[in-house]
Amino acid sequence: MRVSNTFKQGIRDKRIQFGLWSNLASNYSTEVIAGAGYDWIVIDTEHSPTDLETVLGNLQAIAAYPTAGVVRVPWNDTVTIKRYLDVGAQSLIIPYVQTSDEAAAAVANVRYPPSGVRGVALTTRATRFGRVPDYVRHASDEIAVIVQIENELGLGNLEAIAAVDGVDGLFIGPADLHASLGYPGEIGHPKILSLIDEAVGRITRAGKAAGVFAPVEEHARRWIGMGASIVALGSDIGILARGAEALLIRFRDAKPS
């Protein structure tokens, strides 16, 4: 009973995969968007109230659909990553990776000894409660490691990070990149957009999947054209908030007949 990872297979096949961020911390709302047809959905634990048990419920909700569940962990932490893997996460986005050493630590966190430091437990949800033969030997084959580049140091070390064995993709975080380079609160400054353009090209030339959060359609199409293949088109909170506002505006601005 090998548990394949469609998200990682898409990276291997160099397919463009469209995703959506989930920050609402609800397995019910995640199931709603899981049926929309996205290739992957990020369960975010860095900037949301989502905890380990909520991640488990979200992964169970997504499992009924042909959509891959991806978990953004709160930090590149051995214990935290181990727990998310044990409840069945197969694809991780690891924030704020700045150096090749940090990238190597992220890879070690998802691998069992002797090639890593992941603690061994044989009857977890990840192993289908002991029903996956030789899970410990083959688990890393189906675990995708995506490291997030969010500041100038990470950009400067991009090729070295991409060269780390076991890193499947590098994901650009535009909001943090803007803030770290002196443009907090912006997501479309021309100077930073140009740096993201360059980063997407550098990642693809290094042979790794380039990812980016791109809720602005113009930006998404721009980076897809440059080779980005892991593209988040928005978030559940953004869709709910802006959609609710737009619906009300249509009526408040309407003239009486």
Report, in angstroms and rounded to the nearest whole number, the Rg of the chain calculated over CA atoms.
19
> Is 8 within 8 Å of 143 (Cβ atoms)?
yes
What is the C-alpha separation between 59 and 89, in angstroms, rounded? Answer: 7
Residues 6+ away with beta carbon under 8 Å from 210: 169, 170, 171, 172, 199, 200, 203, 204, 223, 227, 228, 229, 230
* Catalytic residue IDs: 47
Grouping H, G, I as helix, E, B as strand and the rest as coil, residue 170 is: strand
> Is 1 within 8 Å of 133 (Cβ atoms)?
yes
Backbone phi, psi, residue 42, to 5°: -90, 125
What is the C-alpha separation between 71 and 41, in angstroms, rounded? Answer: 8
Instruction: For residue 171, count other CB atoms closer than 10 A to its CB.
Output: 26
Nearest residue to 151 via CA among 187, 188, 184, 178 = 178
DSSP code, position 182? T
DSSP code, position 185? T
> Is 162 within 8 Å of 129 (Cβ atoms)?
no
Residues 6+ away with beta carbon under 8 Å from 139: 85, 111, 112, 126
Backbone phi, psi, residue 216, to 5°: -90, 120
